Amino acid sequence: MTQSASAKALLPLGLFLTLFLGTGIYFQLAGVDYAFYQLASPVAILPAIILGVLLSKQAFEERIDTFVAGVGERNIVTMCMIYLLAGAFSTVAAATGGVDAMVALGLNVIPPQFLLPGLFIIAAVVSTAMGTSMGTLAALAPVALGLGQAAEIDLALLAGVLVSGAMFGDNLSFISDTTIAATRTQGCEMSDKFKANLKIALPAAAITLIWLFTYNTGAVPPKIPEANLWLSLPYFFIIVLAVLGLNVFAVLTLGIILAAAFGMFTVGYEWVAFSKDIYEGFTSMQEIFLLSLLIGGLSALIRQQGGLAFLANTVAGATKRLFKHKQQRAAFGVAALTGLTNFAVANNTVTILLSGEVSKQLAEDGNLAPRQSASLLDIFACVVQGALPYGAQALLMGASFGLSPLDVSIHTGYCFILAGVAIAMIIWRKPLEARTSEATA
């Protein structure tokens, strides 16, 4: 039985954030690379789970049952299965040369004077296809660095452009863990969230491109990597199939099979390598897989003890004092909750998992459609993640380009523009849809 709203129930969450953030700050001050990723999040959450169990007023067996029920909750398990398939597709497609093909395809059609907007588009397309901003940056950074040095482009600006494009795709991709988490926690279809998200992301991307077109990158011809362009087709197939509304499990399974088949017929990809790459893709999702399960259990304990009710009431009360329109209150509540959580944990997927249930309650109270709350949840998680100097994206690009992560983060123009467009849309209110339009979602 769920207890009444209680601030005390949030202590386990506070402990998790303190351990995760405190450890990151310590290593950051010590000058350790990837400081906020030295303590694995599934380990950081274990003391919080123990505290959550100790704080519960249930009988001990019932506390464990509550935790296990949260771990095995249908949306959590579904999310984890999708993570595995997404990881397998990304690994197989990269192993068969699909990533190089996508890069080469884009560079073949970019005029040298439009290098910055072109790289933004390439990063956006690759990230949308791969479903991971980090994978996109790892794939594009070496090529982009060479292009930037040859064309004498400000490397901090170039790094910021790549992060911007990568976050565009991370926010919209059907196989991104943020999209998966946002849609599962809010209870809507991926295609519905994509359409709602696009209304905000496309204007922000258009403004970003206009800004990037103002830079003159000269006429230095880029060096295009050798690749078989046919290997880019599996990426386009999964995008088309997903947009058409095919079940995500079917989309990802077909994507894995197509990527392997194209690799076998074009570059001699072998069955043994195929099986190993699938497993490697599974293991690449290990941390987020484990964390999703453990957060599901911790959320169940916090919910049962009234913690989520307290958090929702607090955010709802604050937005109620500031905004008269209930959909505006819900939208700003989701945005503020997501942004603050991401600022603390420096991980957009963790943010969505932590704040998803409260965001859903805020959306229900404000009569905000699930597709809208899922869109805002994902948008503001990606906005803050892309602009954080201690986020994985800025750290990776800083290390790759020999820059300060802060130099990278302040040049992620798209993230700041996306936040501005989203806030303008909320104030305007017209793009917001009532919850009744998705009653069966």
Q: Helix (H, G, I), strand (E, B), or coil: what is residue 368?
A: strand
C-alpha distances in Å from residue 265, one per residue of 90, 230, 231, 274, 370: 19, 10, 10, 13, 43
Domain assignments of the chain as residue spans, ordered by start: 307-428
Q: Say which amino acid occupies 405.
A: P
pLDDT score of 440: 38
Is the alpha carbon torsion for 172, 199, 117, 387 positive or negative? negative
pLDDT score of 439: 41
Q: Helix (H, G, I), strand (E, B), or coil: what is residue 305?
A: coil
Helix axes 392-401 and 133-151, enclosed angle (nearest 10):
30
Q: Which long-range contacts (CB under 8 A, 24 or more apart) does 147-152 make?
A: 147/115, 147/119, 147/222, 147/223, 148/401, 150/220, 150/222, 150/223, 151/112, 151/115, 151/217, 151/218, 151/220, 151/222, 152/218, 152/220
Calculate the CA dihedral of residues 375, 380, 382, 385 and round it to 10 degrees: -160
Give me the residues paired with residue 434 across strands: 368
pLDDT score of 31: 84
Residue 130: name the closest of 86, 160, 162, 187 by CA. Answer: 86
CB of 71 within 8 A of CB of 294?
yes
> Could you read off the pLDDT of 216-229 as tens digits, one per residue?
776 556 666 677 77
Helix axes 286-304 and 348-365, enclosed angle (nearest 10):
40
> Could you read off the pLDDT of 7-62 as tens digits, one per residue?
898 899 889 888 987 888 898 888 887 776 788 888 999 999 999 999 999 999 99
C-alpha distances in Å from residue 334, one per residue of 60, 178, 330, 401: 34, 15, 6, 35
Give me the residues paired with residue 368 across strands: 434
pLDDT score of 255: 86
* Cα angle 109-114-118, degrees, rounded to a multiple of 5: 60
pLDDT score of 437: 46
> Which two tokens mark 88?
């397998």
CA 236 from chain center: how many Å?
Answer: 20
Q: Helix (H, G, I), strand (E, B), or coil: what is residue 434?
A: strand
> Which two tokens mark 90?
């990304």
**Given the structure tokens 């980090």, which residue do they identify?**
134
pLDDT score of 373: 92
Residue 246: name the closest of 175, 153, 172 by CA. Answer: 175
Phi/psi at 389 (nearest 5 deg)? -70, -20
pLDDT score of 104: 75
C-alpha distances in Å from residue 176, one per residue of 65, 85, 140, 306: 31, 11, 18, 31
The pTM is what?
Answer: 0.71
pLDDT score of 434: 58
Residues 6+ apart with CB under 8 A from 122: 102, 103, 106, 107, 110, 140, 165
Phi/psi at 368 (nearest 5 deg)? -100, 130
> Which two tokens mark 70?
């949260």
Counting as low any pLDDT under 50, the low residues of the chain are: 437-441
**Given the structure tokens 């064309």, which residue do they identify?**
151
Phi/psi at 235 (nearest 5 deg)? -60, -45
Distance separating alpha carbons of residues 412 and 204, to the nearest angstrom? 12
C-alpha distances in Å from residue 31, one per residue of 21, 27, 210: 15, 6, 37
